[in-house]
Amino acid sequence: MRPDILFLTLDSCRYDSFVAARAPNLKAVGELRRAKSPSHFTFGAHAAFFMGFTPGVAGMAAPFVNPKFGKIFRMEHGGFAGHAQPFFELTGPNIIEGLRRVGYSTIGSGAVGWFNPDTETGRVLTHSFDAFFYPGDTSSLRRQLRWLDTEMVARTGPRFVFLNVGETHVPYYHEGALWDRTINPCVPFGADNDAAECRRRQVACLEFVDTALAGLLDRFSNQLTLICADHGDAWGEDGLWEHGISHDAVLEVPLLIRLPPS
């Protein structure tokens, strides 16, 4: 029996923020790994993810944790085959279409602007899904979850569910937060940035997200679950701020994987 799949990306979430956060639901998914993303911005990272190049720990000779050794999703003819059998070997232009070809319903929601299907760039990431929801801002997780719930109930057979969470993206804001979302403490080349405030906000957002995701994570408790960030943010390291730059602070991400029972 083919497992359902949950692929969850915490946009811009730094590894150290994930460690610091009280996030029992997310942390229960699996062992937390300090991984590296294949890109430093949302589009590049997800384009790679959707080709099977998920974040990995380069020094580990272990499948899935190191996609160079063995991928969760491997596209046929997609580069080095690795040393371990992939969890899925797929055909098509990306893993979404590949999963559709083997009988999966593919449902997705992305919070940040790169997933806007009204744009040509957004359609690159979203067009292969059976259904996709773009909420229009980065603090709409509860709306995204309601939409996903409706779509999951309406579909039979195995499901691939993708969710990009925006609350952890600048300006680090969640529904009901007590700070002003119009004040961004992490502006590229900004003169008034505040690393401590960035950390406080991102951790608080992650804790909000953890509570909101409890039901979805429980729904996939015996299914294949992959949680990671697409990239992190620089908070003043080497004078750099935000993302879109190849720096260790931006490329370092949390990674958690839960495999279904064999």
> Can you give the residue ranges of every domain in the chain?
5-155+163-258
* Alpha helices (H) in the chain, listed in sequence order: 15-20, 24-27, 42-49, 95-101, 120-126, 141-154, 195-212, 214-219, 248-251
pLDDT of residue 78: 63
pLDDT of residue 84: 82
Per-residue pLDDT for 81 more than 70?
no
Distance CA 157, CA 169 (A): 33
Per-residue pLDDT for 83 more than 90?
no
List of residues 6+ apart from 192 with CB closer than 8 A: none
3-state percent helix, strand, coil for the chain, nearest multiple of 5:
30, 20, 50
Distance CA 125, CA 90 (A): 17
- Full-prediction pTM beyond 0.85? yes
> pLDDT averaged over the chain?
96
Instruction: For residue range 141-200, list pLDDT tens digits in order.
Output: 999 999 999 999 999 899 999 999 999 999 999 999 999 999 999 999 999 999 999 999
The position carrying tokens 């960035």 is: 198
Q: Which CATH architecture has domain 5-155+163-258?
A: 3-Layer(aba) Sandwich (3.40)
Per-residue pLDDT for 125 more than 90?
yes
Beta bridge partners of 75: 90
